Structure 1
Amino acid sequence: MNSKYLFKKIVQSLITLLIVLTVSFILFRAMPGDPVRMFIKEGLPPEMVKAMKKNMGLDEPWYVQYFIYIKSMLQGDFGDSFSFRKPVMDVIWYRLPNTLLLAVCAQGIAIILGILLGTIAAAFRGKKIDVTLLGMALFIYAMPAFWLGIVLLSYFGVQLGWVPLFGMETPGREYASTFAHVKDVAHHLVLPAVTFGLAITGSYTMIMRSALLDVFTEDYINTAKAKGFNRKYIIRYHALPNAMLPMVTIIAINLGFIVAGAIQTETIFSWPGVGTLTFKALGARDYPLLQGAFLITSFCVIGANFLADIVYMYIDPRIRYQ
């Protein structure tokens, strides 16, 4: 194992984390509006308003708030949510599994479709199927996930009635067994996961196609052709394993960005995850909850990037032994 490479990546991750902590502090306090005014009635005496600001920690100068904030973050204390009146981490941990469920299912759909379609497009480069698949990938890649979700929801949910329109489970339904509950959740999960998965399939398809086309120009591919191996064998045993190097990196990095990007899909389908929680906190100017959600998703991105670096070190001997 390359210890210098590993140490370098750890330091980079810690520096990135510190930058994220600072940006989140500045960003949410630069938002217009007074969070105290969101939760008090008009006509309250100034003394009560001042007491609430002190209770929320908003009466101190910004630099004092910053150092208190950094100290609390290092101790794992994200404070209390202004709107939920509960510890921020309790609110987030309750919703995070729902977001991870959606993100993992969407990622699985995108990986399978992206690798399959990208391989087919590369294998038939320049032909109609390649042009068609590449055009579809570009169209999906450019399409906003929000718009795609509305279109799919309108057709499959409203017109055909095949899938539920919102939520994670049927409101008021009593389940006879755990299996019945899981089945209902899966039924609600189908459309959000497919929507989110399709939104990132386009990029995976183009990356896989490009990686395979690069591999096809390598000498060992020409050697395999000269030995008489058919195209299917060459793609499966020679091209695909090497083309997966950039794909593994992109997939690992996207694990974090998918969690961060779930807000649009969750909002469209009213999926009770961190995305909808962030949207509500934004409207309520709930600084602690916004910071907590922002930091959790940032941790996912930073952690996924670090994981990608570690995986790449193991699969690429040039890095492992340099």
Structure 2
Amino acid sequence: MTADSNPALLDTEGPLGPGADGDPAAAGLPSARGPRARDTRAYLLYVAGKIGGAVVSLFAVLVTSFFLFRLIPGDPVKQMTGGKRVSAEQLAAMRKEFGLDKSVMAQFLDYTGNVLTGDFGTSYQFHAPVMDKITEALPATLLLTGTAYVLYTLIGIWLGTRTAWRNGKLGDRFNTGLALTLYSVPSFWLGLLLIITFAVGIGPIPGMFPTGGLESGGETGIAYVLDVAHHMVLPVITLVAVGYAQTLLVMRSSLLDEMGSDYLTTARAKGLRDDLVRRRHAVPNALLPTVTLMFVNLGTVVAGAILVETVFSWPGLGGLFYSALSVPDLPLVQGLFFVFSTAVILMNTLADVIYPLLDPRVGR
């Protein structure tokens, strides 16, 4: 039978595709646009839900940042006087200046309205806008934690892949044991050990690195860059030692879950080298949980490392937060806490939004 003698073949095999006008629905066939549209709607609803959850979390942070730090014992006004003898009238004037004479609810409403406009108030101890102090300290934090983030992410993924692929061997047992040990060590304690060993010097080991700070001062050009790098060695090692351990353990666990999959057996059966099976097939799928961890850790880059920055006297947001807690400088503490939490929430939300694009099973 030819196409000329069968009009139905002309309808389904014409230049426009299935059907007389090229529309699959006209020929009674399912349309490919239907499932795609449903997937798009499902993804948009998923994203909207995540964004809505982030907004609720930010509001919870706003409330928490205001009420939590008011539980800290001590009178901020008396702390600002530095122990000097001040009359009751002067204390009352200072409380009025900073709005501390109002009720707690009135202070909260003022604080909420100001935050929505980007105003976190004036620091008690520095007598400067909180946002200015945060902006001033942010570059030092990004330099330190950003450098450490890149290093421990790369090291953790590389070692996690190697240890999982050689599961049970000596290298796997050594690296896993070391990672578990470092992951359980408090970062400030590890930092103190490094200062004692490599900054102060112990036994035959001389002091080779500064005990803290960002720079020695008086340097310019390439000498300044080298000086800053010299000061960064110990705090970066401290952050990398703890951060790489977490990344290694997550990457190792994910890759071990993938190693028994049928698609890897098929790839080997096709004659692919073991190295290609790992790099082209196993690692890309095992990276998905690690990608989530990377976004979560990226949020902590802005938050800094409060204890590590304090131990090494690093002039970043972490050291600023510790200084604000000691007063307590309520506007500065509240502003820093809100910025820290916002960075983590935004990175978590971004990870949730991107994850379905990497794994279509999520969010559908």
Q: Normalising to structure 1: TM-score of the pair?
A: 0.95
Q: Judge conservation of contact 1:168–1:185 (CA < 8 Å) in 2.
A: yes
Structure 2: how far apart are the matches of 1:210 and 1:147? 27
Of 86, 104, 115, 2:157 maps to: 115
Task: Check the 8 A contact 2:304/2:317 in 1, yes or no.
Answer: no
CA contact (8 A) 2:199 2:211 kept: yes
Which residue number in structure 1 is paired with residue 310 of structure 2? 267
Q: Which 5+ residue runs of structure 1 have no aligned equivalent? A: none
Per the alignment, residue 15 of structure 1 pairs with: 56
CA apart distance, 1:163: 2.1
What's 2:91 paired with? 49
Q: In the TM superposition, what is the alpha-carbon distance from 1:183 to its structure 2 partner?
A: 2.1
The equivalent position to 1:282 in structure 2, one of 325, 336, 350, is 325
Say if 2:299 and 2:344, in contact at 8 Å, map to a contact too. yes
The one-letter amino acid of 2:142's match is: L
The number of residue pairs the alignment matches comes to 318
Q: Between Structure 1 and Structure 2, whose CA radius of gyration is higher?
A: 2
- 2:66 is the counterpart of 1:25: yes
- Residue correspondence of structure 1 range 60-75 to structure 2 within 5 A: 60-75=102-117
Structure 2 counterpart of 1:193: 236
Report if aligned partners of 2:142, 2:304 keep a CA contact under 8 Å in 1: no
Residue 42 of structure 1 deviates from its aligned partner by 4.3
In the aligned structure 2, how far is the partner of 1:217 from the partner of 1:73?
A: 51
Gaps (5+ residues) in structure 2? 1-39
Q: 1:174 aligns with which of 215, 219, 223?
A: 219
* Separation in 1, partners of 2:354, 2:149: 18
CA contact (8 A) 2:188 2:311 kept: yes
Q: Which residue of 1 aligns with 2:136?
A: 94
Contact 2:161 2:251 in 1 (8 A): yes
| Shift in Å, 1:257 | 2.8
Please name the residue that 2:120 is paired with: 78
Q: CA deviation at 1:258?
A: 4.2
What is the identity, as a one-letter code, of the residue corresponding to 1:293?
A: L
Mapped to 1, the partners of 2:208 and 2:270 lie a distance apart of 52
Q: Which amino acid in 2 is paired with 1:96?
A: L
If each structure's helix is expressed as a fraction of its own residues, which one has the higher value?
1
RMSD (CA atoms): 1.4
Of the candidates 44, 52, 61, which is equivalent to residue 3 of structure 1?
44
Paired position in structure 2 for 1:125 = 167
In the alignment, which residue of structure 1 is the partner of 2:279? 236
What is the CA–CA distance in structure 1 between the aligned matches of 2:211 and 2:292, rounded to whole Å?
A: 35
Deviates more, 1:114-123 or 1:153-162: 153-162
Amino acid at match of 2:215: E
| 1:209 match | 252
Residue 281 of structure 1 aligns to a residue in which SS?
Answer: helix
1:35 matched residue in structure 2: 76
Percent sequence identity is: 44
1:153 shift after superposition = 2.0
Structure 2 counterpart of 1:319: 362
TM-score (norm 2): 0.84
Report the Cα offset of residue 47 of structure 1.
1.6
Question: Which one-letter code corresponds to 1:165 in the other structure?
Answer: T
Secondary structure of the 1:66 match is helix
Classify the secondary structure of the residue corresponding to 2:180.
helix
Summarize deviations over 1:245-267 as a string: whole Å, max 9, x none.
Answer: 11010010111234435111111
SS in 2 for 1:317: coil
Conserved 8 A contact 2:190-2:238? yes
Structure 2 CA distance for aligned equivalents of residues 52 and 239 of structure 1: 64
Of residues 62-71 and 149-158 in structure 1, the stretch that sits farther from structure 2 once superposed is 149-158
Separation in structure 1 between the aligned mates of residue 241 and residue 342 of structure 2, nearest angstrom: 25
Which residue of structure 2 lines up, in the alignment, with residue 161 of structure 1? Answer: 207
State how far apart, in whole Å, the 2-side matches of 1:43 and 1:107 are: 47
Q: Which among 227, 243, 249 is matched to residue 292 of structure 2?
A: 249
CA distance in structure 2 between the partners assigned to 1:314 and 1:190 by the alignment? 37
The superposition leaves residues 98-117 of structure 1 with CA deviations (integer Å, 9 ceiling, x where unpaired) of 11111111111111111111
User: Within 5 A, what are the aligned runs for 1:141-156?
Assistant: 141-156=183-198
* In structure 2, C-alpha distance between the alignment counterparts of 1:260 and 1:77, rounded to whole Å: 19
